[in-house]
Structure 1
Amino acid sequence: MTPSNGSVGSVGSAEAAAPTAVGPGAGEKGLKAGALGLTSSVVIGVASTAPAYSLAATLGLVVTRVGPQAPVVMLLAFIPILLIAYAYRELNAGNADCGTTFTWASRAFGPRVGWMGGWGIIVADVIVMANLAEIAGVYTYRLFGSESLAESRLWTTLAGVAWIAVMTAVSYVGIEISAALQRWLLGVEVVVLILFAAVAMTRVYTDPPETAIRVSASWFNPLLVPSAEALTAGIVAAVFIYWGWDTAVAVNEETADSAHIPGRAAVLSTVLLLIIYVSVATAAQAFAGVGTEGIGLANQDNADDVLSGLGSAVFGDQGAGRLLTELLILMVVTSAAASTQTTILPLARTVFSMAAHKAVPARFARVHRTYLTPTWSTVGMGLVSIAFYVLLSVISRDVLADTIESIGLAIAFYYGLTGFACVWYYRMVLTRSAKDFVCKGLLPGTGGLLMLSVFSYAAFHVYADPRYGATSFDLPLIGTTGGVTVLGIGALLLGVVLMLVVTHEHTAALKLQRSLLPRSLEPQTAVEAASRYVPADSRSGVGGDWFDVVPLSGTRVGLVVGNVVGHGLHAAAAMGLLRTSMRVLARMDLPPDELLSLLDDVATQTSTEWAGKVGADRTRSGGGTGDGITVTCLYVVYDPVSGRCSMARAGAWPPALVDADSGAVSFPDLPPGPPLGLGGQTFQGVELQLPPGSLLALFTDGLMRAADHDTDVARGLLADILAEHRLPLEQLCDRALARLLPGPVDDDAAVLLVRTRMLDERQVAGWELESDPASAGAARAAVGGQLAAWGLDELTFTTELIVSELVTNAIRYTEGPVHVRLIRDEYLICEVSDTGHTSPHLRHAATDEEGGRGLFIIAQMTHRWGTRYTPDGKTIWAEQVVPPPEAPR
């Protein structure tokens, strides 16, 4: 039921109105696609950095660290930011997922590293929300001239909480409203900043104050920075003022042309920010100087807010000047408030994507039916930010100040991780062209290394100094350490602990999945086989795919690939159950279509028993109705004696077939059949004649989904690879995975390649007998002669006894001719076929009974025996181990 309003406070109604994201893939989460264009994306990217607030809070800090070289430090900080923006652009083009770093790092390095990337975003956003709320609260009172309230911890906290709540509500009711609000706020903000820079620079050269210094080329020489420590601290602080442009990519699934516009907006945003920051910083430094008194930018009393004091000095405090000064203060307020709102956007969408990928509780993947925005993730992150802000306000303003500086570590962490993820994700195509090498490899990799260097040096050298920042902690075994390092590294380490908890299911599912798959493929007479299983890199993808090679009677072999639609422990467990059931049913020598019908019964019964347990997983992955399990399966039986191959499928892909001579690749016209687990389904099979050396490729749909989501392209790529059918199967498997799955994958994939063989006609002997009791003697004589020709005289007695018993029973209980066949392979196989359709049963005859011991004797003398049905009757078979040849003396 849809609620009557979009109130943020109504968490319960939001949940009732919010369906869970249907899938973790781009465009599958239910967000409002196409809501933003390039302009709106750029506006959101620039507004998220809060230019006015960032300059007010950071410019004094940078000048304190590096002196007059502040402009060049801001320029240097732009370089790694631009390089990482290219990483965002390239990764977004390949996978436009609102989870950004979380999703991309998961695909590149696995779910645990990806989870830490998402945690870095959460840490940075939650911490900065506290500071933004603090600034917005203080400046709100100053705007109205109430300095007493601005200095009250209680009242500023209340105002900050109100700002977070209001901006959370704006984010909740729709991305378009958020974008419209940001366009107005940013437009006024940029105009005021440009006006401030222009007036300040004009006065420097026409009516300079006592503090004014003319612009010098030395300001842009980084070699004049006093020390490496000062340069690093300045760059880390300057990186913070650029941070936020990636919001343009975090809303990619709500952007028109999501594969390209968000990436372009990210690069454009960073360039615009560079122009704004360097211009304003240069003008402010020229006007105010770098002194430690008055309006000097190095004055510690103004370090957290240099624009308030500069406003009246630049514009004056009379008439229009006073209005512009008040407007500048208003811009700091609205900049912080706007950034609060644009910080909620990536924070909520990161958590939302993590929930869609099952990295956090699934409830956070709910979408509002009307607004098409994340519900629980937006409201939840707003509440978390409020709680964190209130907690730090109660504990200490000094701790709050140090947490703000620690944001730089979280930013450098997940930005650097994104750069490395881009290089590793595209590693297979870096040599394809010079453009790919530069844009996908060189630039992102360099950005990642720069971010890693800044993170390491700042965390373990600059911030670790107990004299740095407002707090310090006495750590066991380490000693007194700066509070910024402790808080920054501690927040990331907390994520490691949480990551181990929340990724436990993925690890367990992958371990269970691998334990239930064949450890190795046993050698078969009928085929040469090779296989691969590729687990998904994200937590949402693991579980459900399997392959198998099942030895059947008469040297035949059963080949299978299947997929339980769904992910996680339940899907892996269902896969193990169905694989075992299929092996049992395959031993009954059923035709493929009949076997799938029986397996459908197993899947349906399992669905009934497990309803509600794997259904949620399956619904979110886009399959089924959520009432149980659904299974796709392809089953193939190949007979190396006749060369006949029969197959049937249940919703799976047909196999690829490669001609042994020409290498032509085809996909047999195999009726699709419904998936298993729906109940009461029927399937159709086909039979083909395969010459020896033919190649069959069986695969699950995970292999087809990875080639730009275009199955025709994927099938063409597979055909190109299989055309080189004379290569070793292991090499063909590797080539198929390298072409079709060049990077991380979202869904499991199983591949089974087999090359057919035919038994030599000298290994097979057969006779047709009349339905006459005398035929048993003729069968014994024929069998004895054939065994002598094969040099298996030691098996003559037992084989004649087996043939005599089976032929006698066939003549006694059926009508029509009886066929006897011997196959010499690893085992000596004796088959007797008749026109009867009743299967004999092994029984233990009582001591006073004259018959009923024949099959019991056969069972004791053979390796194994069984019955299979044919269109004309049945075949009873028995296998004996062929003794190895004697070694020459």
Structure 2
Amino acid sequence: MKSSPRPAESAAPLAPGPGAGEKGLRSGALGLFSSVAIGISSTAPAYSLAATLGLIVARVGLQAPIIIMLAFVPMLLIAYAYRELNAVNADCGTTFAWSTRAFGPHAGWMGGWGLIVADVITMANLAEIAGIYGFRLVGLESLAASRTWTTVAGVVWIALMTAVCYVGIEVSAALQRWLVCLEVATLLLLAVTALVKVYTDGPPTALHVSASWFDPLNVPSPQALTTGVLAAVFIYWGWDTALTVNEETADSRRTPGRAAVLSTVLLLVLYGLISTSAQAFAGVGTTGIGLANPDNSRDVLSGLGGAVFGTTGPGPALTELLILMVLTSAVASAQTTILPAARTVFSMAAHKTVPTGFARLHRRFLTPTWSTVGMGLVSIVFLVLLTSVSHNVLADSIDSVGLAIAFYYGLTGFACVWYHRRVLTRSLRDLLFKGVLPGLGGLIMLFLFCYAAFHVYAAPDYGATSVRLPLLGRVSGVTVLGLGSLLIGLALMPVVTRGHTAALRLQRSLLPHRLPTLSAVESASRYLPADTRSGVGGDWYDVIPLSGSRVGLVVGEVLGHGLRAAAAMGRLRAGIRVLARLDLDPDELLTHLDDMVREEDDSGNPRGVGVTCLYAVYDPVDGRCSMARAGHAPPLVADPAGGVRYAELPAGRPLGLGGPPFQSAELNLPVGSLIALYTDGLVQSVDGRRGLAETLAGPRRPLESLCDEALATLLPGPVGDDAVLLLVRIRRLGAGQVADWELVPDPAEVARARLLVTGWLDEWGLAELVFTTELIVSELVTNAIRYATGPVRVRLIRDRSLICEVSDTGHTSPHLRQAARDDEGGRGLYIIAQLTECWGTRYTEDGKTIWAEQALPAEG
């Protein structure tokens, strides 16, 4: 009997989670050496020098070595930005993830799009170069000159490198280690041999190394300096691949950052040595092996290899080895170009920014399945499409990749500054490495982007193609392709970020727009939505005015993210406000809320399993605070003297799971005590809770300042999960604001109650309210004496309104009705409802309290 095939989900499971280290990639597979090897290989040193050195020399002449070294500066600055961001969020999405956290989903999408565009265009270029050099290596020059055959060979190389990336990061890393070592060794051999011949038996073009070569002031013009740096800066591009494999690297928060910085430094040494030795050997002439010869501008190493190594002995073999190194450099770079693109798409899918199918992992290799295959297929389609349309368009697209690189590198630099903005003043190191250096790198990239797009590349005669645009006239195809590819991402952005925007808008609309101003408490709050599309969730808080000048405090969290979690949060918040108005005790309120959460929708799925909540009621008359929690973290309580403790409350179970009943605990708090309610997104760990306690300890400070300080300490950058902080400083009503007395259950006491009310209202200057208040008290006390037993208590509270409360030992709730004409009674509550703003009943352990509120007369 034939067994049924496994479903696709079994063979390629989705990433378990979107967070750093949670996506299911093979963690700990790479060490520092492998990360550095991947970073260097991604820049394709041999190919980059072969294709760029001649162009730089043509622009700046003998100052080419210092221009290449100056181009290292912005790359090092951006490398520091990568290192600092990776230390706090080792996400393989790198620029996408970090820009999302710093600036929101729109900037994150564009950062990820810029990286993908750069990688896809470069893949097409590298594949074509690999095809050309593959044929040249075996002497098939005719095939190397054929566009069709080089395209076919390029497709084969892309497929092979995609397969290597697909079968596992260890295989990719092992291949890169061997290739980069062989490549660097060959380049160093070329440099040393060239320098030796310069000072022994050099060619007529040979020049002795001079200090003037390293003086940028000798560059002919500022324009030549800028265009030279612009050309040189991108030969360093690619080292950030060491960061995109961070979730597969041992010590993922530190090793990738170190590898990035180390890669750029090693590239500086290598490029500086090669450019200096090549210039010393070949000179900067425009004929022969001169580096400024336009015939060699796209490949200076091939012609240079034969001259340096000679044509006898091992010379031809070494020359062939150099050609092989250009080939393997392009191949290795193609492979390591697939890695960052695939992992960026994988991270975007895990965060639900692109279809979740791209977040699937190979069960055995633990590599992104459709992200890797998809990037290979897109690169093949792009290569075939452009070569079939026009080889000139392909050439211009290769030049335009610099705009995408400058865009996402610069965005990363600015993201680092904004991400860490709250801690820049913490130390000199933080200011330098998290602020000044990344910010300067971002500014340099911004300048290069604008200068290249609107000055250098925009010139109609730049590149192989030009396009006539409305209002602008004829513009180089390089600018059109570079800016056009980014604008495509901008056009797609509203579609892919629509879910996050809708969830965030819903979340904010359901939370309090401002906290009420109450006599019982002073309050301040902060809500930080998660910074990823999947992160916007169901955290909420509330401050609810209750009867008797009491106040209800709420904080809660719905498990999950997106629109569903936000909608569930809104439903629960509305439910709590309704239940709170019934003056229920905290444990009773949570019981009713638990029933609501356990309701099932039409599909039979629980609506809100995994909800936590804490509800507290504070009474400013007696200073008592009653609390109950359902699986939520206990609140932090700071006394007026500066001591801090966590309130001891029964843990309770999360809502919707069933189990034992909830329990309330009662705290007697001194005036000026501070209560901090929060969600897990704020503290996240024991250290976070300790940090919150340390922030709230000490002398009395304004609540707004405490909120800001707490967020700066606990969440120096944007958050991966929703975070809520609600700070409440309690107050007590003064003795002159409350009048309280007890009556015996005797009808004669009704007249005494009216006299006591009149006296207090006269003392408070509220003579205007005497008539209505006497009527209210008469009706309520009469009903209490008639229908209940035991003493009757009357309390007047002068707060923002006048509150009259009558308490008795009965548990029968009065009902408001409109009496018929022939009824002898039943009109009392109806009259009270007409004369007051609101009224109601709350139950206590000893009976019930009926209360009514009247607005205070306007001050003259």
Measured against the shorter chain, the TM-score band is over 0.9
Give the aligned partner of residue 457 of structure 1. Answer: 451
Q: Which amino acid aligns with 1:227?
A: S
Q: CA deviation at 1:292?
A: 3.1
For residues 794 and 297 of structure 1, the distance between their equivalents in structure 2, rounded to whole angstroms, comes to 99
Tell me which residue corresponds to 1:135: 129
Note closer, same or farther for the CA distance 1:367–1:683 as it changes in structure 2 (3 Å cut): farther
What amino acid maps onto 2:507 in structure 1? Q
The partner residue of 1:417 within 411, 416, 429 is: 411
1:347 alignment partner, one of 341, 344, 352:
341
Q: Which residue identity lines up with residue 84 of structure 2 in the other structure?
A: E
Distance 1:866 1:666 in 2: 36
Q: Return the letter of the residue paired with 1:419.
A: G
Q: 2:214 pairs with 220, 227, 237, which one?
A: 220
C-alpha separation between the residues in 1 aligned to 2:754 and 2:431?
74
Letter in 2 for 1:200: A
Q: Which residue of the partner structure matches residue 616 of structure 2?
A: 636
2:48 counterpart residue number: 54
Corresponding letter in the other structure for 1:644: R
- Please say if 1:80 is aligned against 2:74: yes
Equivalent residue, structure 2, for 1:665: 644
What is the one-letter code of the residue matched to 2:646? Answer: F
Give how far 1:200 is off.
3.0
Equivalent of 1:106 in 80, 100, 106: 100
Q: Residue 807 of structure 1 corresponds to which residue in structure 2? A: 781
Offset at 1:48? 1.0
Which residue of 2 is the match for residue 618 of structure 1?
none
Task: Answer yes or no: is 1:653 the counterpart of 2:629.
Answer: no
1:591 maps to 2:585:
yes
> Distance between the aligned counterparts of 2:678 and 2:768, measured in 1?
44
In 2, distance between residues paired with 1:90 and 1:65? 35
Of 281, 285, 289, 1:291 maps to: 285
Shift of 1:569: 2.8
SS in structure 2 at match of 1:883? coil
Q: Whole-Å Cα distance in 2 between the matches of residues 704 and 762 of structure 1?
A: 41
- CA-CA distance at 1:46 after TM superposition: 0.8
CA contact (8 A) 2:544 2:552 kept: yes
Query: Is the aligned partner of 1:252 residue 2:250?
Result: no
2:815 counterpart of 1:841: yes
Cα deviation 1:756-799 (Å, max 9, x = unaligned): 12222333333434445555455445444444444444434433
Deviation at 1:681, TM superposition (A): 6.2
Match of 1:683 in 2: 662
Q: Aligned-pair distance for 1:104? A: 2.3
Amino acid at match of 1:457: Y
Which amino acid in 2 is paired with 1:736?
A
Give the structure 1 partner of residue 88 of structure 2.
94
Equivalenced residue count is 858
Cα deviation digits, residues 14-47 of structure 1 (max 9, x gap): 6543333333332122222111111111111111
Q: CA deviation at 1:557?
A: 0.7
Q: How does 1:423-572 map to 2 (within 5 A)?
A: 423-572=417-566
Shift in alpha-carbon separation, 1:786–1:219, aligned structure 2, 3 A: closer
Q: Which residue of 2 aligns with 1:722?
A: 696
Q: Structure 1 residue 539: deviation in Å?
A: 3.3
Cα distance, 1:482 vs structure 2: 1.6
**One-letter code of the match for 2:620?**
P
SS in 2 for 1:562: strand
In 1, Cα distance between equivalents of 2:399 and 2:546? 68
Equivalent residue, structure 1, for 2:672:
693
For 2:691, the aligned partner's letter is L
Contact 1:811 1:818 survives alignment (8 Å) = yes
Quick check: 2:598–2:607 contact (8 Å CA) kept in 1? no
Superposition pairs of residues 273-284 of structure 1, within 5 angstroms: 273-284=267-278
Give 3-state SS (helix, strand or coil) of 1:242's partner: coil
Q: Deviations over 1:148-186 (max 9, x none)?
A: 322222222122112112211211221111111111111
The worse-fitting range, judged by mean Cα deviation, of 52-61 and 399-408 is: 52-61
Report if aligned partners of 1:546, 1:575 keep a CA contact under 8 Å in 2: yes
Deviations 1:526-572 (A, max 9, x none): 11222222333443433422221111111111011222233333332
Distance in 2 (alpha carbons) for counterparts of 1:608 and 1:809: 44
**SS at 1:703 equivalent:** helix
Structure 1's 158 and 83: CA in aligned 2 closer, same or farther, altered over 3 A? same
Runs of 5+ in structure 2 lacking a partner?
A: none
- 2-side partners of 1:795 and 1:204: how far apart? 107
- Contact 2:558–2:608 under 8 Å retained in 1: no
1:240 matches 2:219? no
Code of the residue aligned with 1:279 in structure 2: it is L
**How far is the alpha carbon of 1:127 from its aligned partner?**
0.8
Question: Matches of residues 187-336 of structure 1 in structure 2 within 5 Å?
Answer: 187-317=181-311, 320-336=314-330
What secondary structure, in the 3-state scheme, does the structure 1 residue paired with 2:667 have? strand
Deviation at 1:596, TM superposition (A): 1.4
Deviates most, 693-702 or 798-807: 798-807
Residue from 818, 828, 832 that aligns with 2:802:
828
* Deviation, structure 1 residue 13: 7.0
| Corresponding residue SS for 1:548 | strand
Q: Which residue of 1 aligns with 2:721?
A: 747
Deviations 1:305-337 (CA, angstroms, capped at 9, x unpaired): 222333333334555333222222222222111
Structure 2 counterparts to residues 116-127 of structure 1, below 5 A = 116-127=110-121
- In structure 2, what is the equivalent of residue 768 of structure 1? 742
Q: CA deviation at 1:129?
A: 0.6
How far is 1:132 from its partner? 0.7
- Could you tell me which residue of structure 2 aligns to residue 623 of structure 1? none
Give the drift of 1:87: 2.0
Could you tell which deviates more after superposition, 762-771 or 70-79? 762-771
| SS in structure 1 at match of 2:854 | strand
Alignment of 1:64-79 (within 5 A): 64-79=58-73
* TM-score, normalised with respect to structure 2: 0.94
Any idea what the Cα deviations from partners look like across 1:792-815, whole Å, max 9, x if unmatched? 444344333333333343344444
Change (3 A) 1:214 1:729: closer
Name the CA shift for 1:776/1:112 in 2 (closer, same or farther; >3 Å): same
Deviation at 1:611, TM superposition (A): 8.1
- Is contact 1:14–1:376 with CA below 8 Å preserved after alignment? no
What is the distance in 1 between the residues matched to 2:573 and 2:427?
Answer: 44
Query: What is the aligned partner in structure 2 of residue 882 from structure 1?
Result: 856
Matched with 1:622 is none
| Alpha carbons 1:14, 1:368 under 8 Å: kept | no
Counterpart code for 1:694 = S
Q: 2:630 touches 2:654 (CA, 8 Å); kept in 1? A: yes
Moved more, 256-265 or 14-23: 14-23
Contact 2:530/2:722, CA 8 A, preserved across alignment: yes
Please tell me whether residue 37 in structure 1 is matched to residue 21 in structure 2: no
Residue 133 (structure 1) shift: 0.8
Whichever residue aligns with residue 742 of structure 1, its letter is P
SS at match of 2:97: helix
